[in-house]
Amino acid sequence: MTDRRNLKLWLCCLSFFAASLNVIMIDQFVCKIQPETRKARYTNNRLIFDSKNIMRFKNEPRTLEHQITVNNTYKINPELVPRMIKLVQERYNFMKRYSRFYQPIEQKLPEQTRGVIILTQFRSGSSFLGELFNQHHDVFYTFEPLKIFSSYRGDNTHAEDKVEVLDRILKCDFPDFASLYKTYDFYDHELSEQCIKDNFCFRERLRNLCPRELCPRYGACHACGGPFHLPRMNQMCRGKKISAIKVIRLYNIRWLKSLLEDPSYDLKVIHLVRDPRGVQSSRLKIHPEMDVTVNATVMCDHHWINGNAPVSENTEWLSGKYLRIRYEDLASEPVKYSSEIYRFVGLHLTLPVKNWITKNTQSKNPSNSKWATSRNSSETMQSWRQHLSFDTVAQIQKICGKVMKLYGYKPVSSVEELRDLDNQLTI
């Protein structure tokens, strides 16, 4: 009996020493060490340190050896596993270096109960609409968290997975992005490396995510360094009035039915649409080799499904929770439609936000960046009419005619009609 106690104590000490050297820990035994003597304990088979100079991670990544030999459960292309392990190890090393920053949060705020999803498609003016929420001090805004699931494929893959992730983020229970590659099937996908490194996607685009309390190495946002400390971010998110998410990779609004029917959560959906001809023109600037026929077909199929959902049978769950906004309306009268959007979600249009709208929609020196939110919006709205050939426009109109009629966009029948900017193409 004494020998067994000695063996257990020896294994416990070995585990403590191994953890401090960043090698594989022994999980099979529970070490009963008194906190006042060693300041350590096991919780959920993980060694937790209580001394103030040693990190306390409940979800710390293991070593390379452990990941590969014991915990190699990443559902990715086997060729990507070494790179994935390296990314996780680099993240772990950073967290270890700044261990004081990554201390657990003792008092947690309750989960968020109000949210809004901006549902749209690639190159539809969503960066501006998303930034409209990002600028409001009562909103915690998340920019395209579904990036890890796909590029711009228009299929139904990961429908339930995407909704599950959105549900967590809306409630301010942010997932560890590396762990998602173990939860869901990503065998046909590339790694979203920056999302893994930062534990968040598109961190650099969100100024509100660069305050001192979220930056272990405080400085410029791009130099903030290291992954987000999720408990801190959850706290900040839960302290806001609304959680807002912009998604361009959720192709069917009906996937959100379970979230919209959740009685414990007040969720609204803003469906942002844009003239299909303008969308295709913008996409061609980024992907000149793009097949317009294929792209327009996929895009307008999604629009037809989502655009008809509010007036279809058995969609009463959308009643009072759905607002459709046309990019062209928002661009031509930004303050008016921004006020309408804010009223819909229960926010007030503050003076700082109103000033931001004016500055970013009437810019005399607009940015040339394809991703900028500072533009002359009324000019940008019709720029496609100068860039697309009439043949390409006619091709898009043939494919997307039903959707254009549904959303109130008029077709053109000649080059002259196309180039005449005084001829408004919205009804």
Give the pLDDT confidence of 195-211 residue by residue, as tens digits: 898 888 888 777 677 77
pLDDT of 343 > 50? The answer is yes
Q: Highest mean pLDDT range out of 32-46, 80-94, 218-232?
A: 80-94
H or E element in which residue 361 lies: helix 351-361
Residues contacting 285, CB < 8 A, separation 6+: 370, 387
**Is residue 116 within 8 Å of 242, Cβ to Cβ?**
yes
**Is residue 61 within 8 Å of 92, Cβ to Cβ?**
yes
- Any idea what DSSP says for residue 272? E
Q: Residue 25 is encoded by which pair of tokens?
A: 């820990």
Q: Which strand ranges, in their side-by-side order, compose the sheet holding 266-273? A: 139-143, 242-247, 114-119, 266-273, 322-326
Residues contacting 146, CB < 8 A, separation 6+: 162, 165, 166, 247, 248, 249, 250
pLDDT of 223 > 70? The answer is no
- Any idea what DSSP says for residue 145? G
Give pLDDT tens digits for 354-392. Answer: 999 999 887 665 555 554 444 556 778 899 999 999 999
User: Region 81-86: what's the mean pLDDT?
Assistant: 92
Give pLDDT tens digits for 7-27. Answer: 445 545 544 444 443 333 323
pLDDT of 398 > 90? The answer is yes
User: Region 324-332: what's the mean pLDDT?
Assistant: 95
Query: Quick check: helix, strand or coil at residue 186?
Result: strand
User: Region 224-242: what's the mean pLDDT?
Assistant: 90
Per-residue model confidence (pLDDT) at position 342 = 97
Per-residue model confidence (pLDDT) at position 49 = 29
Q: Residue 320 is encoded by which pair of tokens?
A: 């009072």
Give pLDDT tens digits for 48-62. Answer: 323 333 333 344 444
* Distance, CA of 389 to CA of 373 (rounded, Å): 26
* Domain residue spans of the chain: 1-54, 62-104+187-227, 114-174+228-386
CATH superfamily of 114-174+228-386: P-loop containing nucleotide triphosphate hydrolases (3.40.50.300)
142 φ/ψ angles, rounded to the nearest 5 degrees: -120, 125
